[in-house]
Amino acid sequence: MKPAQADAYLRRIGAAHPAWPTVDVLRELQLRHLLTVPFENLSIHLGEEIVLQEKRLVEKVVGARRGGFCYELNGAFGALLSALGFGVTLLAGRVYGEKNRLGIPYDHLALRVRTVDGGDLLADVGFGAHSHYPLALEERGEQADPGGTFRVIVAGADPAGVQGSAGQFGDLEVVKDGKSQYRLETRPRVLGDFTAGAWWHSTSPASHFTRSLVCSRVTEDGGRVTLSGRTLTVTGPDGRKETSELVADEDVLTAYRERFGIVLKSVPVVRKGDS
């Protein structure tokens, strides 16, 4: 990423150009990203191609002022962090779903980030309602965050009976409020490794992304605003929810524009045959 592109990205998320790649800077950048760049799967239902190439991801997030899902958001954010001097490694995860079942390989993309002053941290701007700030990868105790109470622990056995390990490339478990969120491999990956996962999530009838519409971001008060189809939900920092149904197309388009900064010509709908 060229310096001008990094500056444009920083303007997109409302952050100043940092002097050093420190823990505090990473915390600010992750929060600003969550506040301004929505987690959304609209491309799947708008017939837009999802290409896991740095240039295309940055063009979407910065140029088109859109969001995306994990591969896109963490892929683009990782490119920005690298350009700012952070040490960035792409990590693959498998998300826990119904009945605590693990998802497909390369189900999720997260970032191991090394700063000049604080060791390794887990940065993730692509997991919907998750931590607002990076998590310390080597810390095994509770980590308090506005998004909940988190732990990063050595993983137990996976469905194949493979046990986690505290050593090199051992699997970790990311836990929120006592519930496992995803199993994280610590072996370094490259962006192209996630192509099959992105394809599956954007085409398979078994993927929840093909069966629903979502657009969501953190709000300035620490809550969250989410548009699921025509249902607008505003969640306060105390967890209280206010839900409304948007009947008119213009109200839906206004919500995308005013709540998420996304300008659309027509209301996206779940594609036929995907449900």
| Catalytic sites, residue numbers | 70, 108, 124
Task: Give me the half-sphere count of Cα atoms (radius 13 Å) on the Cβ side of residue 177.
Answer: 7
For helices 23-36 and 3-13, angle between their N-to-C axes, nearest 10 degrees: 60
Q: Rounded to an integer, what distance in angstroms lies between the CA atom of residue 254 and that of residue 258? A: 6
Phi, psi of 61 (to 5 degrees): -70, -45
Best CA proximity match to 13, nearest among 42, 45, 35 = 35
| Tally of helices (H runs) and strands (E runs) in the chain | 7, 13
Best CA proximity match to 84, nearest among 145, 132, 28, 135 = 28
Most distant CA pair in the chain: distance in Å?
Answer: 55
Measure Cα distances from 253 to 29, 88, 201, 249 in Å. Answer: 28, 36, 25, 6
Measure Cα distances from 24 to 20, 117, 143 in Å. Answer: 10, 9, 16
Q: Rounded to an integer, what distance in angstroms lies between the CA atom of residue 95 and that of residue 201? A: 12
